[in-house]
Amino acid sequence: METKLNTRIIMVTFLIGAFFAILNETLLNIALTELMDVFNVDAPTVQWMATGFMLVMGVLMPISALLIQWFTTRQMFIGVMSIFLVGTTIAASAVNFPMLLAGRMTQAVGTGLLIPVIMNALLYMYRPEVRGKVMGTFGLVIMFAPAIGPTLSGVIVDLLGWRWLFITVIPFALFAILFAVKFLENVGEVTRPKVDILSIILSSIGIGGIVYGFSSAGEAPDGIASIRIISILLISLLSLGLFILRQLKLEEPLLDVRVFKYRNYALGVSLFVIVIMAMFASEIVMPMYLQGPLGYSAKLAGLVLLPGAILNGLMSPVMGTLFDKFGPKKLMIPGTLALVGVMIFFSNISPAVHIWAFILVYILLMLSISAIMMPAHTNALNELPKKLYPHGTAIGNTLQPIGGALGVSVFVSIMSHGQNSYLEKQSGEITEGVMNEAMTAGVHHAYWFALALCIGAFLIALFIRRAIAPDYDENQTSS
């Protein structure tokens, strides 16, 4: 049994690496407008800096369950952080958009494999009755880092330029690797299950195709009704269906989908995905609106989002502690109700809204997310037996980037179509004022869809119960 000191060192190692890896999920959001000008690309193309990052993460997540069982904690952490460092260096040195995108996708490989490694280790290290607090502490990183990304990005871009978004991360990534080499210990067991290549191919086609299909819908003339988009989605869904059927037949599945037989896991992960969609989409759409109709600079737009981002991170350990004490419902029900109220506000937003009203509502958005995300995910994992930990964490983390990518893609697509529909009805000159009105109309359309999602989240929260781990070993490290 490991000592408390070793447990703390392992946790510190994880937090250092995870913060700077996960920060990159949203670090470029506010910089997208400048990157369009620097590399002369349009909005759907530059959107792949955000969507492509989550697409790569989504494709890799199912494989993480296999890799966690094949390699030690030290090997996985040091390896994926090294991949992340290489990607960051490529992006910082980019001389054209393809090179920048290649660096960004390499970063995504490291980030995508890092999160399941950490979460699987935490499930082994801590007792179920304190996991809320532990996951909340980790949530301080995985929620605070992407939330503060737009704010930090705005300041760096205005003061130093877009390239420094990557340069500033390099020394911290290198430090995380050296710290892990010195202090990180192994957690869990290496079992080396059989590698099923067909499962990897089917999951990659299914998950990658779904995200690509929705991402491309905004560029197609007929949107999601395009024959090409429908074909991609149908092939992807067929591949995903075959993947699921194969996992049910294999003795050693790549990803054991039987985790969804556990009621609280299924409900918790569904709620988690809805909240992810709302959060990532808001962190793309709102900066665009602030810099568009409201006319704010990148730095000011980032500062507007700062109070909500800070509270989101700081409240995560608090919400985790409250989850341990009171269970999931007393957090999730008020959290989802607050989320519904936020979406009603955003679906009626206009340039006339006072900036303080926007700041307060964004704070409420981030507080409600902190009350839902980690409690939902922790409660879901708590219901699983130990042998399913790698699969439960892999599936939950697979759905996170997919939810984020779909949220961004669908929201931007709905916003663009709403904007275009408004412009098509205009008979006079298309002035800047008309363009602002069109974007406002597009944002309204996007948040009507978000409102429907959040009402669904509230209904799911009503049926979630506190989960109890069936076979946790009390002799494991706990603190």
Read off the pLDDT of residues 347-370 as tens digits, 9 standing for 90 and up. 888 888 888 888 898 899 888 888
pLDDT in tens, 280-317: 677 777 777 787 777 777 667 777 777 887 787 788 78
pLDDT score for 5: 41
Q: How buried is residue 387: exposed, middle or buried, by Cβ count under 10 Å (0-12/13-18/19+)?
A: exposed
Is residue 258 within 8 A of residue 385, CB to CB? The reply is no
144 to each of 345, 422, 474, how far by Cα in Å? 23, 36, 31
pLDDT in tens, 163-189: 888 888 888 888 888 888 877 777 767
106 to each of 42, 89, 102, 211, how far by Cα in Å? 22, 10, 6, 18
Between CA 277 and CA 287, with CA 283 as vertex, the angle to 5 degrees is: 145
- Average pLDDT on 200-219 reads 76
Q: Which residues contact 42 (CB under 8 A, 6 or more apart)?
A: 36
pLDDT in tens, 384-430: 887 787 788 778 777 776 777 677 777 777 887 777 787 877 777 77
What secondary structure letter does DSSP report for 188? S
Is residue 407 within 8 A of residue 454, CB to CB? The reply is no
Nearest to 415 by CA among 383, 450, 391, 453: 450
Q: How far apart are alpha carbons 267 and 376 in whole angstroms? A: 8
Q: What percent of the chain has pLDDT over 70?
A: 88
- pLDDT band with cut points at 50, 70 and 90 for residue 94: confident
**Cα-to-chain-centroid distance, residue 468:** 26
Q: Which residues contact 78 (CB under 8 A, 6 or more apart)?
A: 177, 180, 181, 184
Range 149-162 burial, b when 16+ CB lie within 10 A, else e: bbbbbbbbbbeeeb
What secondary structure letter does DSSP report for 318? H
Nearest to 63 by CA among 104, 101, 116: 116
